[in-house]
């Protein structure tokens, strides 16, 4: 990297835009999450139930292996730690000539701050991963408040007065016991989708995509897949534990896992362009990293003013033939 060409580009808008826009978006998301999840102004919808519904009559769960605050901390920090470790290792010892050329080039100067490609990638990837985690968190809690799905231990947490409940029809009006734990009762109304499944899926899928695209070791093909698949396996085991301990329904963890995985896939492959950089040190903006198989179909180019052309044998072999038919030139192209 010492003999690579080093040059500095001035961009006085980079740091101000990051501070005024990106940081403001992250702070706004954090404020919305506090308002939705931790304030007393928003309560989940009071959903009804059938008295014979056994799926909500499970006993109260034991102590969780991953309390919510521990879950939020781990799932938000794991992608950040993996990105910092991965980018540091690649910067110290690139595994390919492409990585060597990218990490040896452009430094941007903004507001008298010199930002190398390594610093820019770390800030961009870690910041975007945190924003994606906050989005997953906010969407999951919002859905929980709107749906008001009852957890399997709702009856044990609510302890309704059955003498005032008419079990012959759907029960929509009921009063929980005054001795019921308020925090536990609120959680008992927020089952769909599972916050543990969505946050675990987001963190693990993000790490899996990052390691699959960037964290490649030259002399070992198994380290990155094992770490990535291990993170996904931990998330799946957490989902299974939530179901087996009667904390969530099976549909809750399936919906939560799909939600978190979808956000992680969108953030990784669309927003961050699968963590790739071009030779100038910028992320890919217009090139497709992942593409679907194309189909060879005829396409018509209508040119009424141009006389029909007659195909000749002078065209190169790699060009598809052109045919003239009633003033319309047909040409085989890839869509």
pLDDT tens-digit profile of 46-71? 889 999 999 999 998 887 777 888 88
Give 121-138 pLDDT, tens digit per residue.
888 899 999 999 999 999
Collapsing DSSP to helix, strand or coil, 259 comes out as helix
Question: Is this prediction's pTM over 0.95?
Answer: no
First to last CA, the chain: 40
Is 70 exceeded by the pLDDT of residue 333?
Answer: no
Give me the pLDDT at residue 222, please: 82
CA-nearest of 75, 81, 83, 82 to 125 is 83
Give 79-106 pLDDT, tens digit per residue.
999 999 988 888 777 665 555 555 556 6
Which tokens go with 275?
């963590």
Q: What is the mean pLDDT of residues 257-270?
A: 94
Is 50 exceeded by the pLDDT of residue 335?
Answer: no
Is 80 exceeded by the pLDDT of residue 255?
Answer: yes
Q: What is the mean pLDDT of residues 289-316?
A: 47
Give me the pLDDT at residue 225, please: 87
Collapsing DSSP to helix, strand or coil, 333 comes out as strand
Q: What is the mean pLDDT of residues 307-334?
A: 45
Would you list the DSSP string of 156-222? HHH---GGG--TTS-B------TTS-HHHHHHHT--SS-HHHHHHHHHHHHHHHHHHHT--BTTBSS
Give me the pLDDT at residue 97, please: 57
Cβ count near 141 (within 10 Å): 21
Cβ count near 150 (within 10 Å): 24
Give me the pLDDT at residue 82, please: 93
Is 70 exceeded by the pLDDT of residue 191?
Answer: yes
Q: Name the band, by pLDDT with cuts 50, 70 and 90, for residue 258.
A: very high
Spell out the domain ranges in the chain. Answer: 8-275, 296-334
């Amino acid at each position: 990297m010492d003999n690579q060409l080093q040059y500095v580009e001035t961009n006085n808008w980079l740091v101000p835009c990051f501070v005024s826009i990106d940081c403001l978006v992250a702070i706004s998301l954090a404020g919305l999450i506090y308002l939705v999840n931790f304030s007393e102004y928003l309560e989940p919808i009071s959903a009804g139930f059938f008295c014979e519904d056994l799926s909500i009559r499970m006993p109260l769960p034991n102590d969780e292996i991953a309390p919510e605050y521990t879950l939020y901390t781990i799932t938000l920090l794991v992608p950040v730690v993996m990105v910092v470790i991965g980018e540091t290792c690649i910067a110290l010892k690139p595994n390919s000539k492409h990585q060597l050329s990218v990490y040896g080039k452009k430094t941007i100067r903004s507001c008298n701050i010199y930002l190398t490609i390594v610093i820019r990638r770390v800030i961009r990837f870690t910041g975007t991963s945190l924003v994606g985690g906050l989005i997953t968190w906010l969407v999951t809690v919002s859905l929980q408040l709107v749906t008001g799905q009852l957890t399997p231990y709702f009856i044990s947490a609510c302890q309704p007065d059955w003498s005032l409940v008419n079990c012959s029809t759907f029960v929509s009006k009921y009063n929980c016991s005054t001795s019921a734990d308020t925090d536990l009762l609120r959680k008992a109304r927020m089952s769909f989708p599972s916050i543990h499944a969505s946050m675990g899926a987001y963190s693990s899928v993000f790490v899996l995509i990052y390691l699959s695209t960037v964290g490649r070791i030259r002399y070992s093909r198994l380290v990155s897949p094992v770490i990535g698949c291990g993170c996904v396996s931990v998330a799946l085991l957490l989902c299974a534990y939530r179901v087996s301990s009667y904390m969530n329904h099976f549909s809750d963890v399936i919906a939560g896992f799909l939600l978190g995985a979808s956000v992680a896939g969108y953030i990784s492959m669309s927003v961050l362009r699968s963590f790739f950089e071009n030779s100038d040190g910028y992320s890919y903006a217009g090139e497709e990293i992942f593409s679907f198989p194309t189909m060879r179909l005829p396409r018509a180019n209508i040119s009424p003013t141009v006389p029909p052309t007659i195909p000749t044998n002078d065209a190169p072999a790699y060009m598809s033939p052109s045919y003239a038919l009633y003033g319309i030139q047909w040409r085989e192209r890839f869509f």
